[in-house]
């Protein structure tokens, strides 16, 4: 099953590797970084819409 993880870029800068965590359960992983904050869909609607559309077509 395809999985998309959208991670805040500041978390990655602090060393949290969401891709490594999720890869164990989701071999078909699409990991994306965003500059948006906690409310990603409100702060970056186009970016999140693109991620969801990409997931649905996979």
pTM, rounded to two decimals: 0.80
CB of 30 within 8 A of CB of 2? yes
Cα distances (Å, whole numbers) of residue 13 to 30, 41, 48: 19, 21, 20
The 10s digit of each residue's pLDDT in 2-57 is 999 999 988 777 888 999 999 999 999 999 999 998 899 999 999 999 999 999 99
Reference 9, options 30, 45, 36, 40; nearest CA is 36
Instruction: Give the residue extent of every domain in the chain.
Output: 3-57
């Amino acid at each position: 099953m395809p999985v998309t993880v959208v991670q805040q870029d500041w978390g990655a800068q602090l060393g949290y590797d969401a891709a490594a965590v999720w890869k164990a359960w989701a071999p078909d992983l699409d990991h994306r970084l965003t500059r948006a904050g906690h409310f990603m869909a409100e702060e970056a609607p186009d970016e999140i819409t693109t991620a969801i559309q990409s997931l649905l077509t996979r």
